[in-house]
Amino acid sequence: MIFEVTPSQTVGPYFAIGMPYEGGHLIVPEGTPGAITITGTVYDGRGEVIPDHLIEFWQPDGDGRFVDVHGYGERSTLDGFRGFGRYGVEDGDGTYRMLTVKPGRVPGPGAGALQAPHIDVTLFARGMLNRVVTRIYFADEAEANAADAVLQTVPAARRHTLLAQPVDGGYRFDIHLQGADETVFFDL
């Protein structure tokens, strides 16, 4: 017998009562060699920032190894690596910040393929009845990006919305829910 899923509902405006935890944005501990900051602002269809957004990252370490709950694949040996980050605060200003390392390449989809470095992203907010899912790729990985099977399925004119741009100390990745630069969201 197959059961149907429990439907999603909006995270609402008051998730900051329960969802934050100390150091939630630390995908790697502070002081980790090679650590970078990924920061970005989340915009609605009017171009206004969304202060009450909740964003989560999931990624492997620089060697392409996860700290997976199932023990899938080789486990990351990076000290204190969580692979997961959550940012969402009571007094948000629309801009998130995560401390992490640039992910390594991982296999897939299909046998023999290798993906470009990427981070899986979940975004929740009031006014969103379900999460939206996107991927962060890196603008300075042109060669790997050109060979990435997922990125190649994205219409060429929209691919730039998935590229984090290098800035001092890390990368910038803004998210636009609508508009000319609407971020590409995935059907997961």
Partner 1 sequence: MSTAERDQGRETGQDEVRQIYDPVADTPSRYRRSPPEANPPLDYPPYKSTQTRHPKQPLVYLPHTVTEITGPQLQQAVRLAPTDSDLTVQHGGEPIGERIIVSGHVYDTEGKPLRGTLVEIWQANAAGRYAHRWDRWAAPLDPNFTGAGRCETDANGRYEFTTIRPGPYPWGNHYNAWRPAHIHFSVLGRAFTQRLVTQMYFPDDPFFPYDPIFNSVRDERARRRMISTFNIHETRPNWAQAFNWDIYLRGPAATPFEEAF
Q: Which of residues 44-103 bind partner 1 (CB under 8 A)?
A: 44-46, 48, 50, 52, 56, 58-60, 66-73, 82-84, 90-91
Q: Which of residues 14-33 bind partner 1 (CB under 8 A)?
A: 14-19, 21-24
CB atoms within 10 A of CB 133: 14
The least distance separating partner 1 from the CB of residue 37, rounded to whole angstroms, comes to 19
Which tokens belong to 129?
A: 């009845």
Window of 30-38, 139-147, 163-171, 174-182 that interacts with partner 1 by CB under 8 A:
174-182
Nearer to partner 1, 114 or 167 (CB): 114
Residue closer to partner 1 (CB basis): 50 or 168 = 50
Tokens describing residue 76:
């990351």
Comparison of 9 and 143: residue with beta carbon closer to partner 1: 9
**Spatial distance between the Cα atoms of 25 and 145, rounded to a whole number of angstroms:** 26
Whether residue 43 contacts residue 176, with contact meaning beta carbons closer than 8 Å, is answered with yes
State the virtual CA torsion across 144, 146, 148, 151 in degrees, nearest 10. Answer: 130
> Residue 3 phi/psi, 5° resolution?
-90, 150
The rounded distance, in Å, linking the Cα atoms of 83 and 108 is: 19
Least distance between partner 1 and beta carbon 40 (Å): 16
Question: How many residues sit in the footprint of partner 1 (CB under 8 A)?
Answer: 80
Query: Contact with partner 1 (CB under 8 A): which of 140, 158, 166, 167?
Result: 158
